[in-house]
Chain A
Amino acid sequence: MPETVLSLKNASVFQRENLILSDVNVTVEKGEFVYLIGKTGTGKSSFMKTLYGDLPLTKGEGNIVGYDLPTLKENDIPFLRRKLGVVFQDFKLLNDRTVKNNLLFVLNATGWKDKAAMDTRIDAVLDKVAMKTKSFKYPYQLSGGEQQRVAIARALLNDPELILADEPTGNLDPQTSVEVMEVLQEINKNGNTILMATHDYALLLKYPSKTLKCDENQIFEVVQKTV
């Protein structure tokens, strides 16, 4: 029986008092690669934010990697995020330190102590995204695609049960998007679960997978027509 990492039942997503999505029923099983598509402003990002605890879930049931979202406490949020890997459209790397120190910060913040183990882990994740040779660079010295790959490496550090990628290719050119997508596919093949919000339909066609669509305050599964 497959393990469920994310399940929402009759959940509503609010931005302050504004209802963004209602009656959301979503389940994601371990090892899946799920797309979340929809026009801008339909609530993809709000949905993602609710999942990683930046917006509270006030209505409905929700469980993500073992945390109950409606009863999630402020103090538990950091620990929820350690079990998730979040990749943002604008990368959100720490610009005041090198790639290696960016990753080192995450490891330090999440309770790693052994220096040697930390170095090995950083090398391993950077190797996965083919950025091992640029660990001494500052984020602003890297191209967008490279920064996004570092961000993916950062998301991988703590071996997350679920990777949330909020339009990871939104700022990238088509060719770099494909490169980043290859990295994500590769990670998915190794057994990581990925939920990726995107509006890049070309990627959907190239790498078909289970797809959820946000539209008119609803999320529903769509079946891709195979051409």
Chain B
Amino acid sequence: MEVIYNNFERLIVSTSQIQKSLYFCAGNQLQSMASSFEKYQKRRLISSYFSVVISISLVLFLLGLLGLLVLNTKKVADHFKEKIALTVYLKDTAKEVEITQLKQSLALAEYTKTAEYISKEQAAEEHSATIGENFMEFLGYNPLQNSIDVYLLADYVSPEKLEEITTELISKNFVDEVVYDKPLIALLNDNVKKISLWVLIISSLFTFIAVLLINSSIRLSVYAKRFTIKTMQMVGATKRFIRRPFIWKSVKLGMLGAVLAMIGMALVLYYLNKTFPQLQLLQDKVMIGALFAFIFLMGLFITWLSTYFATQRFLNLRTDELYY
């Protein structure tokens, strides 16, 4: 009887063990299912950070493009300015020596980019080509003059400087006339000034919008945690201790946004450089590096500052003031 009973007990023990291990397996599976469910839920909530990152990166991207524009307005304007020629017409009585001397002195002058001598025969040929008939045939002579086309450096293309150069050249007795497109130069200088002003205004507006937009999305995400912040204060955490993880989190988002913006800027820069190599966009490596660093620091600084103020706001409120 005793033996049977003992065996029976052992049987029960072993079956209960099997059962236990079965439960264990099932429990494990349940737990892993639960955790994947939790992960899914968490991911759904994380997507709200997505919009914060996107808004930060878009705003910084626009800011960076404007920065590129500011850096390159001068370069683009100079590009056009250096296409403008100052033509010096020489009298037919001018001696060979005088012409050579003027050519040399113009080539060496500080304001010259390039100077090109065009003889009257050359000019006539070009002129005939443009109007499509040989005008010398019915005129019987060549009315054109020998000339020198001077392309100036951008810094000297302004009405005042051009006037100076003209008076200096015209004082030579073998120079007949100095001609350039006066209204075009005035217009160009005027427009460059206007454009620079507007670029400055727009970029400061964009900076303002950037700060505002990033600030409001961060404020919203901190606002969602206001009761958590209060609870943390209730258990004796200092303001600094509570603030730290919030700031770290948004600064990480800010850095991510800034990196995305920089990738965008790099792509734009690459394609612009490929399409307009004459602008030499990538020439000034230091300035471009500084711009990228500025964008990164901007992302860091704005997120840090707005998280600081947003958390500080709720840290300074009393519990019952949170409900308003």
Contacts and interface: CB of A to CB of B under 8 A. Distances in A.
A55 B320 CA distance: 10
B238 A109 contact: yes
B319 interface: yes
Interface in B233-250: 233-239, 241-242
A109 B237 contact: yes
A106 B236 contact: yes
Interface stretch (A65-73, A77-85, A125-133, A169-177): A77-85
Contacts, number: 50
A119 interface: no
B309 to A, nearest CB: 17
B318 A86 contact: no
A3 interface: no
Given A78-B236, A78-B239, 6 more contacts: A52-B234, A82-B236, A86-B234, A106-B236, A109-B236, A110-B236
A80 B238 CA distance: 11
Interface of B: 228, 231-239, 241-242, 318-320
A96 B228 contact: yes
B272 to A, nearest CB: 45
A146 to B, nearest CB: 17
Interface in A124-176: 154, 158
A45 B312 CA distance: 25
Contacts of B232: 94, 105, 109
Contacts of A95: 228
Contacts of A79: 236
B124 to A, nearest CB: 86
A216 interface: no
28 contacts: A15-B320, A54-B234, A78-B233, A78-B236, A78-B238, A78-B239, A79-B236, A80-B236, A81-B233, A81-B235, A81-B236, A82-B236, A86-B234, A88-B234, A92-B231, A92-B234, A93-B231, A94-B232, A96-B228, A105-B235, A105-B237, A106-B236, A109-B237, A109-B238, A109-B242, A110-B236, A154-B235, A158-B236
A93 B228 CA distance: 8
Of the candidates A52, A54, A95, the one having the most CB atoms from chain B within 10 angstroms of its own CB is: A54
Of the candidates B234, B236, B238, B242, the one having the most CB atoms from chain A within 10 angstroms of its own CB is: B236
Interface of A: 15, 49, 52, 54-55, 77-82, 86, 88, 92-96, 105-106, 108-110, 154, 158
Contacts of B231: 92-94
A86 B242 CA distance: 18
Contacts of A81: 233-236
Contacts of A93: 231
A209 B231 CA distance: 30
Contacts of B234: 52, 54, 81, 86, 88, 92
B237 A78 contact: yes
Contacts of B233: 77-78, 81
Contacts of B236: 78-82, 106, 109-110, 158
A149 B318 CA distance: 26
A94 B234 CA distance: 11
A92 B237 CA distance: 14
A79 B236 CA distance: 6
Closest 10 CB pairs of A and B: A109-B237, A81-B236, A82-B236, A78-B238, A92-B231, A106-B235, A78-B236, A109-B241, A110-B236, A54-B319
A55 B238 contact: no
Of the candidates A49, A109, A154, the one having the most CB atoms from chain B within 10 angstroms of its own CB is: A109
A86 B228 CA distance: 15
Contacts of B237: 78, 105-106, 109-110
A55 B241 contact: no
Nearest to B241: A109
Contact of A94 (B228, B238, B318): B228
Contacts of B241: 108-109
A82 B242 CA distance: 15
B92 to A, nearest CB: 92
Of the candidates B231, B233, B234, B237, the one having the most CB atoms from chain A within 10 angstroms of its own CB is: B234
Of the candidates A82, A88, A92, A93, the one having the most CB atoms from chain B within 10 angstroms of its own CB is: A92
B125 to A, nearest CB: 83
Nearest to B318: A54
